Amino acid sequence: MSEQYVQVAVPVPMRQLFTYQVPKEMQTPAIHIGERIAVSFGARQVIALVITVDTAVDDNCQIDAKKIKPISKRLNDSFHLSLSLVAFLKLCSNYYHHPIGDVFVQALPKLLRQVKKVELQPPMVWQKAKTVNDEHNEPLAKIATKAPKQFALYQLIAKHQGISWAELRTLGYSKAQLTALSSKTLITQSKQKPCQFSWQEQNLAQENKQVLSTEQAIIVAAINQTLTQFSCHLIDGVTGSGKTEVYLQAMEGVLANHQQVLVIVPEIGLTPQTLLRFEQRFNVPINLHHSNLNDTERLDTWLNAQQGSAAIVIGTRSAVFSPLHQLGMIIVDEEHDSSLKQQDSFRYHARDIAILRARQLNIPIILGSATPSFESLQNALSGKYQYHQLRKRAGQSNKAKIALIDVAKQQMEFGLSGTLKHEIKQTLARGEQVLMFLNRRGYAPAITCQECHWLSDCQRCDKPYTFHQKQKLLICHHCGSQKRVPKQCPSCGSIRIAPVGQGTEQLEQRISELFASVNVVRIDRDSTRKKGELAKLLQEITEKKHQLLIGTQMLAKGHHFPDVTLVAVLDGDGALFSFDFRASEQMAQLLIQVAGRAGRASKPGKVLVQTNYPDHPLLQDLVHNGYQHFAKQALVERKQALLPPFSFQALFRAEANYPSYPEKFLRVLTELTLNNCQFAGPVPAAMEKKAGKFRYHLILQAKSRKELHIAILQLLAAIPNNEWQNKVRWSLDIDPIDLNW
């Protein structure tokens, strides 16, 4: 046997592959690309992924072949990556200029990143007991009248004949309900048998299929014509226009061809309602991929995707790396959402690399949004994407009207103007629901001394602590540090300490006092920490158990609340004067998305926005002309200013314990001569100090993507010679969307 060498990706922050020798006793069976192996790296044993296999050492290798380490062991399991997924991950690493080992880690669940052997247990699923007769069953009849939630759970399990606890939990059901049905021997649990997904006619629930409008039918027909080739479809549809129904009917042809579908949603909060719609339409294996799953559940999803037993995978941004070998379509819902962009470590954008993956596999991809990102809109207007518009709401619902309330001319109580309080009372009197949007969690953004005006600043961040009354803590939302609320001012000793401003926790308390006869629910990151809590609260809202809904942007996106007819935006001035050129785009998207929660059924909706600047051009344009007009005007301005999407950017970030180090590190980079590129900075970040570190950033901009990436390669090559590089922690963000950092 000849000598054999492999180049592997090791999960370390280094932009290179590492070469190892394959001992002769390990060369059979043949080692292949994408295989997981164990290697010795320094003093550790780590999992590495094979990228190339050779019989000779690479010409670029500077190490004597005799000094190359042998691999420690081959795992000889089936948990390997396909050639197409390996090629895709290499593309991602090259585009984002990120260490290749760190990129490959993204494609493996946590349990497969460990050297120790994976003890694989077949996933358990629930199904209806074979002995149960629905027509003559006394326990079932009792449940139907006395425990409707249990009965709904039974019907769901009976329909699917094999549904996992992860799905049931996501849909808002509890262990107690499951145990109750099991104790009555109505349902049983068994091991899921892995088998290749195969479409049957009975997989489609025709009774839930809606009749498409003309606009919807044209879009579905256009997508169906491109099922065997790459095409990017942007569906620009007003909120409530039936984009999900378009997705469902477009998927039918893919599933009928025994192929898999990947659905990416920006946040976990949108997973329950997406899963519910898909469960109602398709009786096929659906797997979930998001951060609320435990390690075993994530491995189950990964394996079901790899083995072809998962027909549909619904997940947040990292689901884009799922090993779906029979992938036939990708859907990215709310494609404009900034949550699709990873903001630490490997800073990829799930929408962009989903398009890259669809192109590589030669399959269609659908992007959907009521407020498309300027990048996607420009690509659609220029003909790169197929552009579809849905201008009418589905069914009898009409678009809610937006009105501005000038708070300078109103008497305010608990952050509510007199006009808004009157409208809330009238809406509640009609038996309808009100959604109040305030994008600040906690009780108050700060506490202060009313004597000497001391402010509770976080010393590590130079930002005020947020007061959380329920926990009786001051919490920094930037670095996570916590401390107890002082009983007296540390500066002057006064006991006159009071909260400043208003967060969702305080608003919930005040509103409960003001409208004591109605149920109030708050939905933000604090109130939905428990697993399944968000799905449970959303279900309660749909069942009208709560009349007043208070929430942050978690409640603003994509949810369908048929009885919400009034949406109140308490502070509409969030980004009117921001230094970030994207702030107006993001604010407009959020405002339209929030407004879209009103009047989604047959009842007319109304949106009231409280503002100190009712004459601001951005607000006036949105209110009178809508997002489409605003976006096209803003694109003209971007073009004149040569800003994205008419140019391309990369952002170098640097941080250190001393403020001069990151600035000096970035200043050295600006001394390089680059063709057709411009630098902006270095400048302090919007929040210069965070978690004790001083932060600066430097923007690199070019007119073409190619020129930008050539310049980045030059800069990366120069960094090892930068005298300040060992004194700072730096990172690179390609196509940044958040300059606030």
pLDDT at 411 over 90: no
pLDDT at residue number 59: 56
First to last CA, the chain: 54
* DSSP secondary structure code for residue 69 in this structure: P
Question: Of all helices (H) and strands (E), which one includes residue 509?
Answer: helix 504-514
Average pLDDT over residues 454-482: 88
pLDDT on residue 395: 65
The mean pLDDT of the chain is 87
pLDDT at 134: 72
Give the whole-angstrom CA distance, residue 471 versus residue 484. Answer: 9
Contact 47, 38 (CB under 8 A): yes
Q: Per-residue pLDDT for 94 more than 90?
A: yes
Q: Which residue has the higher pLDDT, 64 or 684?
A: 684
Q: What does the pLDDT read at residue 573? A: 79
| Cα–Cα dist 564/601, whole Å | 9
Distance CA 707, CA 102 (A): 25
Q: What is the pLDDT of residues 157-204, one digit of tens each?
A: 888 768 888 888 887 788 888 888 888 888 888 887 777 788 887 788
Residue 558 has what pLDDT? 66
Q: Answer yes or no: is pLDDT of 292 > 60.
A: yes
Residue 220 reports pLDDT greater than 90: yes
| Each residue's pLDDT tens digit, 122-139 | 788 888 888 777 777 777
Q: What is the pLDDT of residue 263?
A: 96
* Beta strand 416-417 pairing with 412-413: antiparallel
Look at residue 60 in the predicted model and tell me its pLDDT.
56
In the predicted structure, residue 280 carries a pLDDT above the cut 90: no
CATH superfamily of 5-113: PriA, 3(prime) DNA-binding domain (3.40.1440.60)
How many angstroms separate the CA atoms of 368 and 334, rounded?
A: 6
Residue 396 — φ and ψ, nearest 5°? -95, -5
Strand pairing report for 327-333 and 260-264: parallel
Please report the pLDDT score of residue 703 as a whole number: 93
Q: How far, rounded to the nearest angstrom, does the alpha carbon of residue 44 sit from its chain's CA centroid? A: 33
DSSP, residue by residue, 156-179: HHHHHS-EEHHHHHHTT--HHHHH
Whether 271 has a pLDDT exceeding 80, the answer reads no
| From-to residues of CATH 3.40.50.300 in the chain | 201-390, 401-441+503-637
Residues in the chain: 741
Provide the pLDDT confidence category of residue 396 given band limits of 50, 70 and 90: low
pLDDT, one tens digit per residue, over 221-263 is 999 999 999 999 999 988 778 899 999 999 999 999 999 999 9
| Helix (H) or strand (E) run with residue 689 in it | strand 677-690
Task: Tell me the pLDDT band of 56, cut-offs 50, 70 and 90.
Answer: low
Residues 684-709: tens digit of each pLDDT = 988 888 888 999 999 999 999 999 99
Q: In sequence order, what DSSP letters do the residues of 88-137 get, joined into one string?
A: HHHHHHHHHT--HHHHHHHTS-GGGGSSSPP---PPEEEEE-TT--SSS-
pLDDT value of residue 75: 85
pLDDT, one tens digit per residue, over 636-662 is: 999 999 999 999 999 999 999 988 999
- Tens digit of pLDDT for each residue in 415-440? 888 898 898 899 988 888 898 988 88
Q: Which residue has the higher pLDDT, 616 or 2?
A: 616
* 118 has pLDDT over 90: no
pLDDT the model gives residue 185? 83
- The pLDDT, as a whole number, for residue 85 is 94
**Class assignment of domain 648-734?**
alpha beta
Q: Is the pLDDT at 61 greater than 80, yes or no?
A: no
Give CA–CA dist 569/420, Å, rounded: 10
1 has a pLDDT exceeding 70: no
**Angstrom distance (rounded) from CA 464 to CA 249:** 49
Q: Return the CATH architecture of domain 401-441+503-637.
A: 3-Layer(aba) Sandwich (3.40)
CATH 3.30.70.360 maps onto the chain at 648-734
Q: Start-end ranges of CATH 3.40.1440.60 in the chain?
A: 5-113
Confidence check: pLDDT of 264 > 70: yes
Residue pLDDT, tens place only, 38-50: 999 888 899 999 9
Convert the pLDDT of each residue in 620-641 to its tens digit: 988 888 899 999 999 999 999 9
User: Of 336, 359, 282, 356, whose CA–CA distance to 313 is shortest?
Assistant: 282
Prediction pTM value: 0.89
Q: Please state, as a whole number, how many other Cβ atoms lie within 10 Å of the Cβ of residue 236.
A: 23
Q: pLDDT tens digits, residue range 550-572?
A: 988 877 776 777 888 888 888 87
Work out the average pLDDT over 271-280: 83
pLDDT value at 465 more than 70: yes
Q: 16-30, pLDDT tens digit by residue?
A: 899 998 888 888 888
CATH class of segment(s) 201-390: alpha beta
Q: Is the pLDDT of residue 62 over 60?
A: no
Neighbours of 569 (CB within 10 A): 26
pLDDT given at position 362: 96
| 480 secondary structure, DSSP code | -
